[in-house]
Amino acid sequence: LRRDLARIVGDEFALEGNTQNRRFAHDMSDRSGLRGRADAVVFPANTEQVAAVVAWSYSRGVPVIPRGGGTGYTGGSTPIHGGVIIALERLCAVHAFDPLLWRMHVGCAVTTARVQRLARENGLYFPVDPGAAEESQIGGNVATNAGGPHCFKYGTMRAWITGLTAVLPPGDIASFGGPVRKDVSGYDLIGLMSGSEGTLGVITDVWLRLIPRPVTSRPVCAVVPDAAACQQAIHLVLASGVVPAAIEYLDAATMKEVGAGFPGGHLPGSGFLVIAEVDSCSNDADALIEALGSDSLTPDPRDLWRWRDGVSHAMTARLGRKISEDVVVPLDRFAEAVDRTLELGFQHQVEACSWGHAGDGNLHSTFLFSPDRPDEARRAHAAAEAMLEVAVEMGGTISGEHGVGILKAGHLRNQWNAAAVQAHEAIKATLDPKNLMNPGKKRP
């Protein structure tokens, strides 16, 4: 298998699966213990080589697993059924950047942070900001329809794509959209590829839309006693009339662990932290301060978001492992979902906490465990599974940003009705009739 693939990509760019490359056996969900085994890993240089690898694999019934930065939280790029990992890291060229036209055309392996930096250095802004931006790739961001704190105002990855190229089974190169800012001529196939998690094809390049950089960014932070007060604070922020760029929260258990590093000065009391940020017009911050109370803090935005990006790692470090869900509930049930997270932790006798994108009703419900205690790991997983059911019960969704991957496969069936599930399956069967594109992932 490796020898055949080496003829396509070159000898040094085709490796044997696990023996040579253990890092490809998992993504960031290995914190919850998930690992797989690939038969080979290839590093194609361009779209044509990706197409040739897919064609070779498809004609022989070999599974294909596209891999971006490997920062996913659901085992999406974990090779659970063996097969060929297409590691896309060599497709990392910026093909075109037209600052005056607010657009960029990039290879799928350009990192999120590189796009953000290039945009910033040219007075522009790319608002998609998932927490592992230095490693995650634009192709992976499309494949998971990634978000981050600022998608409250700016939307998830789909909103920032005007075109893309993808290799579809059995090895065809398809282009949807392009540099045009509007295109309603066909079905929204860019939307279909967004969040497809490698199960429909391999995205190889992307046309991105950018906007001018906001003139100011001002986060306003307040401490509130509990989940109900946190929900009330969100309501007050929404009622203030400004459109915040982000509304985030960290619950009391999370703050207990990471609060000491808060970069915005002395916190008035302990409890939940609510962060609301406005960009563009500084007067708007005054409205947020009024909404969140006069003892609100206004840290430097760069320090604040750097601290906030570290929360996930800090909580993992507490016991060594964690499983973090990314459920979304309707905003009016937010406090209930935060409390249910703690209740599930209590029921399953594991430490629980949550933080996340409060304005979107998007919780990272988290259950901690130690790698040395298999029983605790089982209980943490059971609590996380139960949280998915809670979200569906509340009229929410099992995933607001990380996708389904392998860890949540099977749960969409509880959330959608039979006809919706059938439409989902029909799309998969039409585009990937042999079920070889990242098999086992994102299945209802």
Ligand X SMILES: Cc1cc2nc3c(=O)[nH]c(=O)nc-3n(C[C@H](O)[C@H](O)[C@H](O)COP(=O)(O)OP(=O)(O)OC[C@H]3O[C@@H](n4cnc5c(N)ncnc54)[C@H](O)[C@@H]3O)c2cc1C
**Dist. CA 38–CA 59, nearest whole Å:** 18
Residue 224 CA to residue 271 CA, distance in Å, equals 6
Choose, by CB under 6 A, the member of 70, 163, 177, 444 that binds ligand X. Answer: 70
- Tell me how many residues contact ligand X (CB under 6 A): 38
Q: How far is the CB of 362 from ligand X (least distance, A)?
A: 9
Check residue 177 for interaction with ligand X (CB under 6 A).
Answer: no
355/254 Cα distance (integer angstroms): 7
Q: How far is the CB of 198 from ligand X (least distance, A)?
A: 3
User: Under the criterion CB under 6 A, does residue 401 sit at the interface with ligand X?
Assistant: yes
Measuring CA to CA, which residue among 222, 214, 233, 215 is closest to residue 298? 222
Q: What are phi and psi of 158, to 5 degrees?
A: -55, -35
CA torsion sign, 128 to 131 to 133 to 135?
negative
Is 108 an interacting residue with respect to ligand X (CB under 6 A)?
Answer: yes
The region of 10-18, 133-141, 226-234, 258-266 touching ligand X under the rule CB under 6 A is: 133-141
Among 34, 38, 52, 88, the residue binding ligand X under the rule CB under 6 A is: 88
Q: CB of residue 88 vs ligand X: minimum separation in angstroms?
A: 5
* Strand pairing report for 64-67 and 84-87: parallel
Does residue 315 interact with ligand X by CB under 6 A?
no
Give the one residue of 195, 198, 345, 359 binding ligand X; rule: CB under 6 A: 198
Looking at residue 213, what DSSP letter applies?
Answer: P
376 binds ligand X (CB under 6 A): no
Binding test (CB under 6 A) with ligand X, winner from 18, 57, 77, 165: 77
Instruction: Quote the CA–CA distance of 362 and 292 in Å, as a whole number.
Output: 20
Would you count residue 354 as binding ligand X (CB under 6 A)?
Answer: no
362 binds ligand X (CB under 6 A): no
205 binds ligand X (CB under 6 A): no
- Considering only 146-154, 338-346, 369-377, 423-431, which stretch makes contact with ligand X by CB under 6 A? 146-154
Cα separation, 327 vs 444, in Å, equals: 16
Nearer to ligand X, 76 or 264 (CB): 76
Nearest Cα neighbor of 357 from 230, 257, 242, 270 is 230
